[in-house]
Homo-oligomer: A and B are copies of this chain.
């Protein structure tokens, strides 16, 4: 089916048949059309954008990768290039301009009207991953003394260029944001109502400098579809729309996953990364963890005599430190995520500590018991079994404590708590767990 549609699209484009093209894509969504267009040859792509109306073309172009956007725009006829660029949303243009070489970006910007180019330039100068960089300037503004009829007429005039019109942003003569009105409220308001009377409360906004993740949190807290972005003196520079912020939520969660797995996050989707780039993201932490883990060798050599006398102690080394690592990993992933979504904060540290240590105590009792059973079945000395069981209890409690406290303290120190990954906590518990184990052994076995 899909294969057939692709073949049909290609033959229509080769024949440059506009009627058939409209019929083929008439029932499809821009996203799906974009997926098909990205699969045909460059020549066919140019024909495609030549045949479709500019507004649909711009919408489809927005779903393509910046590299492809540039390749297509570059080869397009001059007039059409400028039309398409002007129909694209400003955040897509910013992303495109930042993805190509500065010289190429400069040439593209010549196709934009002066005031628009100025605004785009401002957005491009904000730091990556901030609200300012992600904002789009394609919103509808209004004045506080306008009536709903006047506002509707204004929306009819400028609305087709706006990314969303669900909210109208009310600014004063200095461009300061003074309120937000939903299109719903405008439609439902009685004739002659002035915007001032239907603005609800202080407008929710974010500063251009806040991190995109924080902006997403504000949007989701207040159940908004877009959020205005303002400078330090409340001047409105644009809006963040929910579709972009959903992408942010996905990206940030993906980054946290990779960090918790013990590697630096990949900046691109998985398959876009070369072996070398994946290697670089992983080797750093592997080496750091190796150095930390190397300490276990020192601990074991220190207890070489104890080990030689009671070689059975060695059998339980992976089991005990593994169990400690598992407990720590459970705690740390739960807490790092709870902090990321704002369920847990630093002020809760004692509450968290009590909860985790209590849970760890009961988990430790259980694991100690099964460790005793395991020792019995492995046929080692009862005393060694007792050492293993008691060590299991201590190691599980210890792992819970470390995994509860460490990410919270790092968060307080403004270090991303997600660096306390599963591997990190596992490594930390390995060396310290061994010391616990051999200390218990020396005391109980009088070695």
The residues of A with any CB-CB pair to B shorter than 8 Å are: 26-29, 31, 152, 155-156, 159-160, 162, 164-166, 183-184, 187-188, 200-202, 204, 219-225, 242-243, 246-247, 249-250, 253-254, 256-258, 260-263, 266, 269-271, 275, 278-279, 282-283, 285-287, 289-290, 293-294, 296-298, 300-301, 304, 307-308, 311-312, 314-319, 321-323, 325-327, 329-338, 341, 343-344, 348, 351, 355, 358-359, 362-363, 366-367, 370-371, 374, 378, 421-423, 426-427, 430-431, 434
Show 23 residue pairs from A and B whose CB-CB distance is below 8 angstroms, ordered by the A residue.
A166-B184, A183-B183, A224-B243, A225-B225, A246-B249, A257-B257, A260-B333, A261-B329, A261-B333, A261-B334, A262-B330, A262-B422, A275-B362, A278-B359, A290-B370, A294-B374, A300-B314, A300-B315, A301-B312, A301-B378, A326-B423, A329-B422, A422-B422
The dominant DSSP class at the A interface is: helix
Our pick among B183, B286, B330 for the contact of A261 (Cβ within 8 Å) is B330
One of B202, B326, B344, B431 near A262 (C-beta < 8 A)? B326
Known contacts A275-B362, A287-B366: A29-B316 contact under CB 8 Å: no
Which listed residue (B159, B329, B330, B427) contacts A184, Cβ 8 A?
Answer: B159
Residues in B neighbouring A315, C-beta threshold 8 A? 296-297, 300-301
B330 touches A263 (CB 8 A): yes
Q: Shortest distance in angstroms between A393's beta carbon and chain B's nearest beta carbon?
A: 13
Cβ contacts under 8 Å, A304 to chain B = 311
Say yes or no: A326-B286 contact (C-beta < 8 A), given A257-B334, A307-B314: yes
B286 touches A334 (CB 8 A): no
